[in-house]
Structure 1
Amino acid sequence: MQENGRVYENASRRHYAYPILAYITPWNSRGYEMAKRFNSKLTHLSPVWYDLKSDRNGLVLEGRHNADSQWISDLRKKGNALIIPRVVLETIPMELLGKKKNWNRAIDLIVTECKEMEYDGIVLESWSRWAAYGVLHDPEMRSMALQFIKELGQALHSTILERNPNPTFS
């Protein structure tokens, strides 16, 4: 899409059959425009909007204030890229994975946000936090993490199937 600071003229024809993911960050407004311009060349757009955090009342999903419904609407009018915002797990892994109540709450928060905002899924970013806390090296914690991801994925697929009985999953 861009080489040596120049933007390619071809904004619509795809050259590759494999999925292409683009992250869009709120601090770079040019990314929003580039995503709209090259929407038909991309298969997945992941705006960097959400953080799942712990607070004194449990878990909270922060970031909806960053979500731009008009931008999403414009994208959907011009192309078929799936909108899958990034969700960063900022919670302490034992608080999330070690407590079924928090586990279920996290899934509920993410699935509810996807339903309400009509997202096509999410990009889950957990590795940095999980690596820092040793989740990836502890067989029991790693197993819990994989089970959490599996249950989250099943819940998201069910939600997306309710809205679109013939989705394109990648």
Structure 2
Amino acid sequence: MKLLNPLLMVTIAYHLAAATLSKTDSKKASSKSLETKTRLSDVPVQSRGLVTTDVKAKDIVLDHQSYCSKHVKERHVSGDVLGYVTPWNSHGYDVAKMFAPKFTLVSPVWLQIRRKGRQSYQVTGLHDIDQGWIKDIKKHSKSTQIVPRVLFDSWTYQDFESVFSSEDEIEDLSDALVQTARDEQLDGFVIEVWSQLGGQKRQELVHMLTHIGQALHQDKLQFILVIPPAVAPGTDQLGMFGKKEFDLLAPFVDSFSLMTYDYSNPHRPGPNSPISWVQACVQILDPESKWRKKILLGLHFYGMDYSALGASGEPILGSR
């Protein structure tokens, strides 16, 4: 298994704070330069001994907000790198701008698509789209593409059934996404829908997503699909997305955003992303490395702090 081959999906989640994502948040975050919030260094992390299998807690506390000012534009990954700007970290807007050359794809969590009725779809969250921020990203890196995440918001089981049973519904759904990308000058979308049906209707989901992929590609738009882990966390059981679905969708999907994190929970505390589990999730989907370059391997930039009673858990910040 060559773990260096998969592409990387890097989640921007340095500061996990309770915040809603809005244009106001992005402007507030942009009002202070990134340099004022971090400790600069002229020495890369490799030379400081921070890239190691023997990580020291004191080094994380000391260096979690530092970066090498001389290397902000360098990339050390040959494939795609996707960064999410998440609702709990509006500071991610600044991080994405400063390090834009390191990312080929940036996905702000902005949009939802809703089914309003028969063959009627509406993309919501458009008020959160910050065209000024997008222009800033493009100014820092012309090759970085903006691909907002889209949730299938407030969909009922019947909504899915109606779409699955009608080619016209699927076409209208796809058209709504394509038109939004045109209107807002977006480069494509990260689609998150697979887990909503809990592993049911896999064949129907593959059919719907294949059509969405074809429609997006016809307009030269990126299609990234979020997929759950191939091995259910804490078990030896296969997850709700497997090799069969992966093989069927791979020709129509540009990249798969593989959720290889949040392995543990308050009722089963433990590691966030054990390497053996991560390896298994990749190997099960693509044992022969046919489509390995399309797997964006999810990397978490946070840990979890669980209570002794197992009743709750919360992200642990770098400063701790």
Range into which the TM-score falls when normalised by the shorter chain: 0.7 to 0.9
Residue in structure 2 matched with residue 123 of structure 1 by the alignment:
190
Structure 1 residue ranges (4+ consecutive) displaced by more than 6 angstroms after TM superposition: none
- Relative to its length, the structure with more helix (as a share) is 1
Instruction: Pick from 77, 100, 103 the counterpart of residue 16 of structure 1.
Output: 77
Amino acid at match of 1:77: K
Partners in 2 of 1:39 and 1:121 — Cα distance? Answer: 17
Instruction: Pick from 101, 106, 117 the counterpart of residue 40 of structure 1.
Output: 101
Partners in 2 of 1:96 and 1:63 — Cα distance? Answer: 22
Amino acid at match of 2:75: R
Amino acid at match of 1:154: Q
Residue in structure 2 matched with residue 60 of structure 1 by the alignment:
122
Decide whether the 8 Å contact of 1:51 with 1:87 is kept in 2.
Answer: yes
Q: In the alignment, is residue 150 of structure 1 matched against residue 210 of structure 2?
A: yes
Residue in structure 2 matched with residue 28 of structure 1 by the alignment:
89
Instruction: Pick from 174, 177, 182 the counterpart of residue 110 of structure 1.
Output: 177
Deviates further, 54-63 or 105-114: 54-63
Partners in 2 of 1:153 and 1:56 — Cα distance? Answer: 23
Task: State the Cα distance separating 1:16 from its structure 2 match.
Answer: 1.4
Q: In the alignment, is residue 89 of structure 1 matched against residue 89 of structure 2?
A: no
Please tell me whether Structure 1 or Structure 2 has the larger radius of gyration of its CA atoms. 2
Decide whether the 8 Å contact of 2:150 with 2:191 is kept in 1.
Answer: yes
RMSD over aligned CA atoms reads: 2.2
Partners in 1 of 2:215 and 2:168 — Cα distance? Answer: 16
Partners in 2 of 1:27 and 1:61 — Cα distance? Answer: 22
Decide whether the 8 Å contact of 1:26 with 1:66 is kept in 2.
Answer: no
Deviates further, 150-159 or 2-11: 2-11
**What count of residue pairs does the alignment treat as equivalent?**
156
Decide whether the 8 Å contact of 2:170 with 2:211 is kept in 1.
Answer: no
- Secondary structure of 2:101 counterpart: helix
Partners in 1 of 2:86 and 2:65 — Cα distance? Answer: 20
**TM-score normalised according to structure 2 size:** 0.45
Task: State the Cα distance separating 1:26 from its structure 2 match.
Answer: 4.6
Deviates further, 21-30 or 64-73: 21-30
Partners in 2 of 1:124 and 1:48 — Cα distance? Answer: 11
Decide whether the 8 Å contact of 1:59 with 1:102 is kept in 2.
Answer: no
- Secondary structure of 2:182 counterpart: helix
Task: State the Cα distance separating 1:56 from its structure 2 match.
Answer: 5.2
Amino acid at match of 2:171: N
Decide whether the 8 Å contact of 1:20 with 1:44 is kept in 2.
Answer: yes
- Secondary structure of 1:29 counterpart: coil
1:46-75 superposed Cα distances (whole Å, 9 cap, x missing partner): 011111123357432111111011111111
Amino acid at match of 2:216: L
- Secondary structure of 1:76 counterpart: helix
Amino acid at match of 1:38: F
1:82-122 superposed Cα distances (whole Å, 9 cap, x missing partner): 11111111223223323434322211110101111221111
Query: Which 5+ residue runs of structure 2 have no aligned equivalent?
Result: 1-11, 15-59, 222-253, 256-320
Is the alpha carbon distance of 1:86 and 1:32 closer, same or farther for their aligned partners in structure 2, counting shifts above 3 Å? Answer: same
Q: In the alignment, is residue 77 of structure 1 matched against residue 139 of structure 2?
A: yes
Query: Which 5+ residue runs of structure 1 have no aligned equivalent?
Result: 162-168
